[in-house]
Chains A and B, each alone.
Chain A
Amino acid sequence: MTKQLFTGAEMVVKALTALDVKYVFGYPGGSVLDIYDAIFQQDDFEHILVRHEQAATHMADGYTRATGEVGVVLATSGPGATNCVTGIATAYMDSIPMVVLAGQVATTLIGDDAFQETDIIGCSRPIVKHSFNCRNLEDIPNVIAKAFYIAKSGRPGPVVVELPKDLLIPQNKGEFSINTNVEMRSYNPTAKGHPKQIKKAVKIISEAKKLVVYSGGGIVLSDASKLLTKLVETLKAPCTNTLMGLGGISGTHENFIGMLGMHGSLEANKSMANADVILALGARFDDRVTNNVKKFCPNATIIHVDIDPTSISKTINAHVPIVGLVDIVIKQLLDELKETNFEPNEEALSQWWDQINQWRAVKSISYVPEAEGAKIKPQHVVESMYRITNGEAYVCSDVGQHQMFAAQYYPFAKPRQWINSGGLGTMGFGLPAAMGVKLAFPESHVICITGDGSIQMNIQELSTCLQYNLPVVIVSLNNRSLGMVRQWQDMIYGGRHSSSYMESLPDFVKVAEAYGHVGIQINELSELDTKLEEAFSIKNKLVFLDILVDEKEHVYPMQIRHGAVDEMWIKKGEKA
Chain B
Amino acid sequence: MRRILAILLENEPGSLSRIVGLFSQRAFNIESLTVAPTEDNTLSRITIATRGDDKILEQILKQVNKLIDVIKVTDLTDRKHVERELLLIKVLAMNDKSRTEVKRITDIFRGSIIDIGKQIYTIQLTGDADKINAFIETLNNETEIIESARSGCVGIARGEKALRV
| A and B are interacting partners | yes
CA distance A303 to B49 in the complex (A): 33
Task: Give chain A residues whose Cβ lies under 8 Å from the Cβ of B66.
Answer: 308-310
List of A residues within 8 angstroms of B165 by Cβ: 185
Given A185-B165, A186-B10: A150 touches B68 (CB 8 Å cut-off): yes
Contact A313 B13 (CB under 8 A): no
Q: Does A230 contact B (CB under 8 A)?
A: no
Q: Is there a chain A Cβ closer than 8 Å to B83's Cβ?
A: no
Q: Using Cβ atoms and an 8 Å threshold, which residues of chain A touch B95?
A: none
- The CA-CA distance from A310 to B62 in the complex, in Å, is 5
* Contact assessment for B68 and A309 in the assembled complex, using a CB-CB cutoff below 8 Å: no
Give the distance in Å from the alpha carbon of A314 to the alpha carbon of B58 in the complex: 9
Question: Cβ of A456 < 8 Å from any Cβ of B?
Answer: no
Give CA–CA (A359, B133) in the complex, Å.
Answer: 63
Q: Is the CB of A185 within 8 A of B14?
A: no
Decide if A313 touches B58 in the complex (CB within 8 Å). yes
- CB proximity of A570 to chain B, nearest CB, Å: 35
Instruction: Establish whether residues B59 and A126, one from each chain, have CB atoms under 8 Å apart when the complex forms.
Output: no
Asked if B37 is at the interface of the complex by the 8 Å CB criterion, the answer is no
Say whether A215 faces chain B, with CB atoms less than 8 Å apart: no
For B48, the chain A residues whose CB sits under 8 A away are: none
Q: Does A40 reach chain B (CB closer than 8 Å)?
A: no
Q: Does A209 contact B (CB under 8 A)?
A: no
Is B92 an interface position by the 8 A CB rule? Answer: no
B41 contacts the other chain (CB 8 A): no
Could you tell me if B71 and A125 are in contact, using CB atoms closer than 8 angstroms?
Answer: no
A121 — which chain B residues lie within 8 A by C-beta? Answer: 14
Chain B, residues 1-41, CB within 8 Å of chain A (1/0): the string is 00000000110011001100100010000000000000000
Chain A 120-133: CB-based contact to B (< 8 A → 1; otherwise 0) = 01100110011101
B69 contacts A by Cβ under 8 Å: yes
* Proximity string of chain B (53-66) to chain A, C-beta cutoff 8 Å, 1 when within and 0 when not: 00100110011011
A115 interfacial by beta-carbon distance below 8 Å:
no
Structural contact, A310 and B63, CB atoms closer than 8 A: yes
- Given A186-B9, A186-B71, A309-B62, are A133 and B14 neighbors across the interface (CB < 8 Å)? yes
A122 near B17: Cβ-Cβ < 8 Å: yes
Total contacting residues, chain A, CB less than 8 A: 19
Min CB–CB distance A227 → chain B (angstroms): 25
Check A186/B70 contact, CB under 8 A, given A126-B21, A314-B59: yes
CB-based contact A125/B17 at 8 Å? yes
- The proximity string for B residues 78-106 relative to A, scoring 1 for CB distances below 8 Å and 0 otherwise, is 00000000000000000000000000000
Q: A135 to B13: give the CA distance in the assembly, Å.
A: 10
How far apart are A47's CB and chain B's nearest CB, in angstroms? 28
The interface residues of chain B lying within 8 Å CB-to-CB of A309 are 62, 65-66
Interface of A with B (CB < 8 Å)? Answer: 121-122, 125-126, 129-131, 133, 135, 150, 184-187, 308-310, 313-314
5 nearest A-B pairs in the assembled complex, by CB-CB distance: A130-B68, A310-B62, A186-B71, A309-B62, A126-B25
Contacts A130-B69, A133-B14 supplied; 12 other A-B pairs, CB < 8 Å: A121-B14, A122-B17, A126-B21, A135-B13, A184-B68, A186-B9, A186-B68, A186-B69, A309-B62, A309-B66, A310-B59, A310-B66
- 16 A-B pairs with CB atoms under 8 Å apart are A125-B18, A126-B21, A126-B25, A130-B68, A133-B14, A150-B68, A185-B165, A186-B9, A186-B69, A186-B71, A187-B68, A309-B62, A309-B65, A309-B66, A310-B62, A313-B55
